[in-house]
Amino acid sequence: MASLLDALNPEQLAAVTLPHQHALVLAGAGSGKTRVLTTRIAWLIRTGSVSPHGIIAVTFTNKAAREMLTRIGAMLPISTRGMWVGTFHGLCNRLLRAHHREAKLPSTFQILDSQDQLALVKRVMKAMHVDEDRYPPRQVMSFIAGAKEEGRRPRDVETYDELSRRAHEVYAAYDEQCQKEGVADFAELLLRCHELLAHNEPLRSHYQSRFRHVLVDEFQDTNRLQYRWLKLLAGPDTAIFAVGDDDQSIYAFRGANVGNMEDFRRDFHVENIVRLEQNYRSHGHILDAANALIGHNRKRLGKNLWTSAGEGELLRVYEAQSDGYEANFVVEEINALVRDGFARRDMAVLYRSNAQSRVLEHALFSQGIPYRVYGGLRFFERQEIKHALAYLRLIANPEDDGAFLRVVNFPTRGIGARSIESLQDAARAHGATLWHAATTLTGKSATSVGAFVRLIGEMRVATAGLSLAETVEHVIEKSGLVAHYRKEKDGAERVENLQELVNAAAAFTADDANAALSAATVASAATVGDGDPAPADPLSAFLAHAALESGDNQAGEGADAVQLMTVHSAKGLEFHAVFITGLEEGLFPHESSVTEDDGLEEERRLMYVAITRARTRLYLTFSQTRMLHGQTRYAVASRFLDELPKEALRWVTPRLAYDVRPGRLDDRAWSAAQPPARYAARVADKAGLPFRIGQNVMHPKFGQGVIVSAEGSGPEARVQINFGRQGMKWLQLEYAKLTAA
């Protein structure tokens, strides 16, 4: 026991050994959050206060769930089987599979990923003759997802405008269609599971008494429905152990509700609140900067990180003339760091939006520096994989219209738009699925649709006795997918991926299926049965796995490469050296955040997350000009730079030839941008304005700004000025009292 708790600091120890009561752990960045969570679980089991069977631990990502399992496994001699550790969606899926009848789902129900979901929304809208231009499917989809995340079915939804009224109608039809096809989108997993527990008292009390400990990771990221789900799961003898950091809440845009932390405290009368403030990651100046920055936020539970590691290096600030120069600076510094013996994989270049990666990649590539870009297409999202999965889905559940449409004519088998349309008409007329229409209409006839129906039928028969891997192998061959991609000129990689899918299926049977599906069933004589099912249908399980865990996005995990990613995806990671790039008003903080409620505070939290990724060295860079949407934009430095303590910063921009302002290294003049002369000259000639684009100006009301663009001439002339935190303004030159600054 001692060894388990040995290396914990007093706060961590307090959290780990809390009594069997609800608790909220405010875990600052780098404060050993995962360690506390996993040690808590190990401690509970070791002290015999609960069996693995009585624990459920919820995370947001599969990665976090895996990490937790690995670490628990390392701490405990016993098997972690029987313990429910997973994502909200994964755990709900498990419950729904186990109780599919009560949840009114077929045992083989399929999970729609966002791609599938959007396709279904479009299909429903088309059937309803809803104008896609007036009601963009994406917006309708997020309306539906948003409603579900609030726990609302169509009958509970309030509409407020034209779009929401129409979206509401689509929602109703969409839900009906999902039910007909036996498919569930991501939000549906949670909502359906919530309803299952809410409406089925025996089931609810069964799980409530089973799970004596509910542990939640990243609690600040939970949405309303997830919180309600947790509340349902917690019975009178359940203790919820929630770990989170309100300062790292950066997912409000997808429904995360930090307010859940306050609500939790109130709803559960939480008395045990532990703050983990000792940071084991970053040096002093970095933490000073992080603390000072986040101190500008009003809405906080309050926390101050400290370290015993010493002050360390100053943060290096660099102002570039253009995004290209900024990238070059980053590359030079990376080269220098490599020369000093640091691993590239221990350096990260962060940016606010993905579009910024291009210039950086270009610079890295031309210098021959290996790099890896996070994000992008994941394995199970690839076209060829989705196609193969669609065949598999049809074998498991032919009513799946999405899967049907995806492959009915792929590879092409002479089923054109008109035959598909007549199928859709028939299906609609009978209120049935496409499969139903196809089988009843064409029956055993010699039409191409009939041939497709037979193909699927044959596949189902042929794979009935096969292993999962053999099934996949059979399907990718017999469907003609492999042959099709062999013929295609750039198909080699796709064929490889299909082969990789077979491997994934083989691996799945070995590990995941057992871990996920046949976890120890501690005999529950309960009438209810337990969510530890006998490995029901391996194919459905594999398909669920494919939807819930979309796989890695890139190969080359092991390579020593510089890591490029958005600040969002850097959350939870740490690096020796971190570059935060594009620190400009309008970009970071992003311009669309100023109109959102609490948008700026969320941007600031994002910056806080970015800063706290760095262990020893942190670069903050921005550029005077940036190519955005095909246009050069002039920008001023991000206000976040002003919010950092000067004592922690070291200005590293070399004095530029054109820049002769005195004392610029010391005073705040650098926060106004000076564009390269060549841009200014060209535009000034053309527009004939007294002011140049890129020029710094002073306005009596708005203060200092930079001219971003101009239009018109003479008395009509107007200029657009970026006043930094005052925002972007169009001013008529004739009236605006502008002076050169």
Active-site positions read 33-34, 217-218, 248, 613
Least spacing, CB of residue 139 vs DNA, in Å: 10
Across 554-589, b (16+ Cβ under 10 Å) vs e yields eeeeeeebbbbbbbbebbbebbebbbbbbbbbbbbb
Angle, helices 201-210 vs 186-199, to 10°: value is: 100
**Segments in 76-212 forming alpha helices (H):** 88-98, 114-127, 137-149, 162-181, 186-199, 201-210
Asked whether position 186 contacts DNA by CB under 7 A, the answer is yes
Selected from 63, 299, 454, 686, the binder of DNA by CB under 7 A is: 63
Dihedral of the alpha carbons of 314, 319, 322, 327, in degrees to the nearest 10: -10
Say how far apart CA 597 and CA 298 lie, in whole Å.
13
- Name residues contacting DNA, limited to 90-149 (CB under 7 A): 90, 113-114, 122
Q: Supply φ then ψ for residue 651, to 5 degrees.
A: -80, 125
- Piece of the chain touching DNA by CB under 7 A; list 398-406, 407-415, 439-447, 730-738: 407-415
Give a three-class secondary structure readout of 217-284: CCHHHCCHHHHHHHHHHCCCCCEEEEEECHHHCCCHHHCCCCHHHHHHHHHCCCCEEEEECECCCCCH
Tell me the number of residues near DNA by CB under 7 A: 42
Least spacing, CB of residue 455 vs DNA, in Å: 16
- Piece of the chain touching DNA by CB under 7 A; list 37-45, 69-77, 258-266, 626-634: 626-634
Say if residues 696 and 671 touch (Cβ distance below 8 Å).
Answer: no
Least spacing, CB of residue 697 vs DNA, in Å: 26
- For residue 331, what is the enclosing H or E element? helix 323-339
Selected from 549, 584, 585, 601, the binder of DNA by CB under 7 A is: 549
Between 84 and 268, whose beta carbon lies closer to DNA?
A: 84
Between 149 and 288, whose beta carbon lies closer to DNA?
A: 149
- Name residues contacting DNA, limited to 190-219 (CB under 7 A): none
Least spacing, CB of residue 58 vs DNA, in Å: 11
- Name residues contacting DNA, limited to 433-492 (CB under 7 A): none
Tokens 């899967």 belong to 403
Between 337 and 407, whose beta carbon lies closer to DNA?
A: 407
Asked whether position 566 contacts DNA by CB under 7 A, the answer is yes
Selected from 81, 104, 254, 430, the binder of DNA by CB under 7 A is: 254
Asked whether position 627 contacts DNA by CB under 7 A, the answer is yes
Least spacing, CB of residue 621 vs DNA, in Å: 18
Between 155 and 489, whose beta carbon lies closer to DNA?
A: 489
Say if residues 75 and 44 touch (Cβ distance below 8 Å).
Answer: no
Least spacing, CB of residue 92 vs DNA, in Å: 9
- Piece of the chain touching DNA by CB under 7 A; list 152-160, 265-273, 575-583, 625-633: 625-633
Say how far apart CA 47 and CA 1 lie, in whole Å.
8
- For residue 706, what is the enclosing H or E element? strand 703-711
Between 51 and 61, whose beta carbon lies closer to DNA?
A: 61
Selected from 195, 267, 313, 596, the binder of DNA by CB under 7 A is: 596
Least spacing, CB of residue 701 vs DNA, in Å: 27
Q: Using DSSP bridges, classify how beta strands 718-722 and 728-732 pair: parallel, antiparallel or unpaired.
A: antiparallel
Across 233-244, b (16+ Cβ under 10 Å) vs e yields bbbeebbbbbbb
Binding-site string for DNA from residue 291 to residue 330, where x marks contact by CB under 7 A and - marks none? ----------------------------------------
Say if residues 283 and 616 touch (Cβ distance below 8 Å).
Answer: yes
- Piece of the chain touching DNA by CB under 7 A; list 224-232, 283-291, 546-554, 699-707: 546-554
Token couple for 456: 């699927």
- Name residues contacting DNA, limited to 66-95 (CB under 7 A): 87, 89-90
Between 114 and 726, whose beta carbon lies closer to DNA?
A: 114
607: closest CA among 291, 260, 361?
A: 291
Asked whether position 581 contacts DNA by CB under 7 A, the answer is no
Between 73 and 599, whose beta carbon lies closer to DNA?
A: 599
Between 12 and 248, whose beta carbon lies closer to DNA?
A: 248
Least spacing, CB of residue 353 vs DNA, in Å: 3
618: closest CA among 664, 570, 682, 552?
A: 570
- Piece of the chain touching DNA by CB under 7 A; list 74-82, 169-177, 306-314, 548-556: 548-556
Tokens 């429905």 belong to 225
- Piece of the chain touching DNA by CB under 7 A; list 207-215, 397-405, 408-416, 663-671: 408-416
Least spacing, CB of residue 278 vs DNA, in Å: 28
Between 354 and 447, whose beta carbon lies closer to DNA?
A: 354
Say how far apart CA 235 and CA 697 lie, in whole Å.
63
Residue 719 pairs in a beta bridge with 710, 731
Say how far apart CA 620 and CA 317 lie, in whole Å.
5
Least spacing, CB of residue 289 vs DNA, in Å: 21
Least spacing, CB of residue 629 vs DNA, in Å: 4
Q: Can you state the percent helix, strand and coil of the chain, rounding each to 5? A: 50, 15, 35
Q: What is the Cα Rg of the chain in Å?
A: 29
Between 503 and 592, whose beta carbon lies closer to DNA?
A: 592
Selected from 298, 339, 629, 678, the binder of DNA by CB under 7 A is: 629
Angle, helices 448-463 vs 468-478, to 10°: value is: 160
- Name residues contacting DNA, limited to 698-727 (CB under 7 A): none
- Piece of the chain touching DNA by CB under 7 A; list 33-41, 57-65, 287-295, 692-700: 57-65
Asked whether position 625 contacts DNA by CB under 7 A, the answer is no
Between 181 and 549, whose beta carbon lies closer to DNA?
A: 549
- Piece of the chain touching DNA by CB under 7 A; list 287-295, 317-325, 414-422, 722-730: 414-422
Between 498 and 548, whose beta carbon lies closer to DNA?
A: 548
Q: Is 341 exposed, middle or buried (0-12, 13-18, 19+ CB in 10 A)?
A: exposed
- Cβ contacts of 81 within 8 Å, gap of 6 or more: 52, 515, 519, 520
Tokens 């042959």 belong to 483
Say how far apart CA 251 and CA 446 lie, in whole Å.
53
Between 55 and 415, whose beta carbon lies closer to DNA?
A: 415
Least spacing, CB of residue 630 vs DNA, in Å: 2
Would you list the DSSP string of 39-56? HHHHHHHHTTSS-GGGEE
Asked whether position 424 contacts DNA by CB under 7 A, the answer is no
Token couple for 164: 């929401």
Least spacing, CB of residue 675 vs DNA, in Å: 17
Say how far apart CA 566 and CA 352 lie, in whole Å.
5
Asked whether position 412 contacts DNA by CB under 7 A, the answer is yes
Question: What is the separation, in whole angstroms, between the first and last Cα of the chain?
Answer: 67
Binding site for DNA (CB under 7 A): 60-63, 87, 89-90, 113-114, 122, 186-187, 250-251, 253-254, 352-355, 358, 375, 409, 412, 414-416, 548-550, 565-566, 568-569, 590, 592-593, 596, 599, 627, 629-630
